[in-house]
Amino acid sequence: MRQCDNDFLFPFTFTDANQYIRENMKSIMLTGIRAMKMTNVPDPMIVNDTDVLIKMKVLGVCGSDVHYYTSGKIGSQVVKYPFTVGHEGSGEVVKTGSAVTKVKPGDRIAIEPAMPCWECDQCLAGRPHTCRKLKFLGCPGQAEGCLSEYIVMPETSCFPIPDHMSYDEAAISEPLAIGLYAVNESIPMKDAKIGILGFGPIGMSVLLPAIAKGASKVYISDKINERVKLAKKNGAVYAGNPDETDIVKEISEKEPELLDVVFECCGQQEAIDQAIDLLKPGGKLMIIGIPEFDRWSFPVDKMRRKEVCIQNVRRQNETLDETLELISDKTVNVAPMATHRFSFDDTKEAFDMVTEYRDGVMKAMIDF
């Protein structure tokens, strides 16, 4: 056994050409409500011949991560401490299992956090995002997250990126894929008039592909004025703060026939109420936001008379390739979404900023 040269990616010792032993890596773990700490944990190991060992480069803090940080749960998914969150990531391939053909060591990749079984009725029906045995990065009871120096993922979750694509763009492809999936599942965008209620990262992830696919007018609302300004800069014909103005009245005056589709992206009951008012007869409501309560309330009379169609959005389904293409060919620009940066050591500061919506934060990025 010999020590590796100092110019390797990380310190380890070889036992043969295909095996290695490393010191424990660092991981940021939730230890309680709004509590986390850096700790040493065993290195992830390649177990299956389709596994890929990844050195993490960048992670984006997601709203669901913050739910676990502040509440310890999302619905029935309850954190058992200590636990590592994080699922919006990009990295570099370090090692692969013997059967891996999609990526090789040294490849730069975007990471798809979903790990379906590919065998259940949902997977076979083309719905791996609702897999019966789904494992998802940073989801309690399923898989530890990627707030760690290294992770192991199946080959199917590894998407090579071109040299001109940044690690930030690769990480942001995860929420953008959700927005793209929601747009694809809604209505044809050409000449559509749409509303997006809640302009956080998911709201912006709806706006960008909607415009790219031909939406004629996009109306935005958000309670953070910096996000209202950002929406206007990125193609919205109208953006308003519902705490400061009657957005339903103002949008209705601009669009007397009302909107074709509204995307609820903030998980708030008042947004659902506003969406129903803003939809034209035969319009469609896309629910993407994750509420902190158990039940939505809908105005039956309005919904029945308008014949409103409602569809929930569960993450994304087979849209990551298209998302990466949109980013790669510059059809969409996700750079404005990454508003703040933090080192791995300052992860808690990043989570606190996102939790408190400080400094107009849209997306906090963590560099490893």
Domain-wise residue ranges, the chain: 2-160+334-367, 176-312
- Residue range 162-173, pLDDT digits in tens: 999 999 999 999
Question: pLDDT under 50 in the chain at which residues?
Answer: 1-21
- Residue range 117-171, pLDDT digits in tens: 999 999 999 999 999 999 999 999 999 999 999 999 999 999 999 999 999 999 9
Contact 208, 176 (CB under 8 A): yes
How far is the C-alpha of 264 from the C-alpha of 287, rounded, in Å? 5
Residue 283's φ and ψ, nearest 5 degrees, are -75, 170
Q: Looking at residue 23, what is its pLDDT?
A: 63
| Tokens describing residue 171 | 């990480």
| Tokens describing residue 247 | 């957005």
CA distances from 171 to 60, 135, 251 (A): 6, 19, 34
Please tell me the CATH superfamily of domain 2-160+334-367, with its number.
Medium-chain alcohol dehydrogenases, catalytic domain (3.90.180.10)
Closest-CA residue to 320 (of 158, 198, 165, 149): 158
- Residue range 217-256, pLDDT digits in tens: 999 999 999 999 999 999 999 999 999 999 999 999 999 9
Q: Looking at residue 21, what is its pLDDT?
A: 43
Please tell me the CATH superfamily of domain 176-312, with its number.
NAD(P)-binding Rossmann-like Domain (3.40.50.720)
